[in-house]
Structure 1
Amino acid sequence: MPPSPSSAQDPVPAPRRPLRTERLLLRPVRGGDLPAVTRLWTDPDVRRHLGGPVTGPVIRIRQRRIVGAPGFHAVVRAEDGVLLGLVTVEDGGRDGETEVSYQFLPEHWGHGYAREAVGAAVVRALETAPSVVAVTQEANHRSRRLLESVGLEHAESFVEWDAHQVLYRRRAGRRNPCTEEL
């Protein structure tokens, strides 16, 4: 008898399947990643537009929840396995749309890693989702440029958490600037 469409042969859901780019590997978070991930949550520069550093009790809760959790991708440099940051893909996030967010350690800023990782995550998400959204503070100009560079477009502005926010969106079927020559 042929296998049913929902058999064990189905591929692993997109948020759990590792994703490779030219220089990076996006994979589930492992226990050994927690020191670098904790730095992401506590670094004032990383958290400048994310509500500030996270405190001890919240860190412990997050540490227990993030290891192997669907949607959380450790971004590691393929050549040496160094953790550079996190990219999160949340199905059914903001208003039911797939939402992408990211954080990278400051020593890895300015090398194009975030653009490469976020661009790949957006393309992967659009394989199954009709659209992808991302939100950043209006004042976070670097993040806004990054989101625009991977094909997300300004969709709306609003105030949340006492700060001006910008929602970006990219719908499936739109051009992919990540695969075009720069």
Structure 2
Amino acid sequence: MKFHLETERLILREIRPSDLEGMFELDSDPEVHRYLGNKPVKTKQESLKIINDIIKQYEERGIGRWAAIEKSSGEFIGWSGIRLNTEYNMNGYTKFYDVGYRLIKRFWGKGYATESGKLAVDYAFNSLKLPELYGITELRNQASHKVLLKIGLHYVEDFCFEKEKLDLRWYKIENK
């Protein structure tokens, strides 16, 4: 499945096996995983499995996270976008679309999560015609909290994700 969306500074496209080096840099960094259960990957094989799982989501669900490419450098900076969650019960929901982003640390603080997140919300409502979209962040992750609010989601409540023993925040935006 092919995706190609653009913002002023980013290209958002399908994740490919050729993104392996960038995905490994992203997911092997303990600071990136500070609010994700502190389980960074240790091998490129683990990153390749993540890539293959996302490609499988494209095939089975028609959507999955997108690679975020910085236009000015052509570099893989992380991922952003929408996915259909069917794997986990999150706050009582077992099938829902959520917006998310994860960036390599050296690209933090540049507004890329907000920029790509706004495009993802627009895509969810105008292309996929979804009635609502959700967001989730770890309770202490203030940067992600601010991004979700900036892209139009509203804080709903805190909850505990039992599977990982994480205290999380639940957000929602409705297609008006």
Give TM-score, length-normalised by structure 2: 0.81
* Contact 2:16–2:51 (CA under 8 A) maintained in structure 1: no
State how 1:145-164 maps to structure 2 within 5 Å: 145-160=146-161, 161-164=164-167
Percent identical residues: 28
The 5 Å alignment of 1:89-104 reads 89-93=82-86, 95=93, 96-104=95-103
* Post-superposition offset of 1:119: 1.2
Larger radius of gyration: 1
TM superposition shift of 1:61 = 2.3
Equivalence for 1:115: 114
The answer to whether the 8 Å contact 2:24/2:47 transfers is: yes
Indicate conservation of the 8 Å contact 1:154/1:169, yes or no: yes
Q: Quick check: 1:30–1:68 contact (8 Å CA) kept in 2?
A: no
Pairing of 1:77-88 with structure 2 (within 5 A): 77-88=70-81
What are the equivalent positions in structure 2 for 1:119-158 lying under 5 Å apart? 119-127=118-126, 128-158=129-159
Which consecutive residues of structure 1, in runs of 5 or more, have no partner in the other structure?
Answer: 1-11, 174-182
Q: 1:59–1:126: structure 2 CA closer, same or farther, 3 Å change rule?
A: same
2:61 alignment counterpart:
none
1:28 aligns with 2:14: yes
Task: State yes or no: 1:43 paired with 2:29.
Answer: yes
Contact (CA 8 Å) 1:29, 1:69: kept in 2 or not? no
1:54 corresponds to which residue?
Answer: 41
The superposition leaves residues 40-88 of structure 1 with CA deviations (integer Å, 9 ceiling, x where unpaired) of 1111111110112124464342243345852120001123311111014
The count of aligned residue pairs is 159
CA distance in 2, matches of 1:110, 1:158: 27
TM-score (norm 1): 0.79
Partner of 1:167: 170
Amino acid aligned to 2:16:
R
Alpha-carbon distance change, 68 to 82 in structure 1, aligned in 2, over 3 angstroms: farther
Structure 1 residues 65 and 97, CA gap change in structure 2 (3 angstroms) = closer
Q: Name the SS for the 2:169 alignment partner.
A: strand
Q: Helix, strand or coil: the match of 1:91?
A: strand
For 1:70-81, what aligned pairs fall within 5 Å after superposition? 70=58, 71-81=64-74
**How has the CA–CA distance of structure 1 residues 124 and 147 changed in structure 2, closer, same or farther, with 3 Å as cutoff?**
same
Task: Give the counterpart letter for 1:137 in structure 2.
Answer: E
Long gaps (5+) in structure 2: 59-63
The letter for the 2-side match of 1:165 is L
* Cα distance in 2 for residues equivalent to 1:25 and 1:59: 21
In the alignment, the residues of structure 1 paired with residue 56 and residue 160 of structure 2 have an alpha-carbon distance, to the nearest angstrom, of 33
Shift of 1:90: 1.2
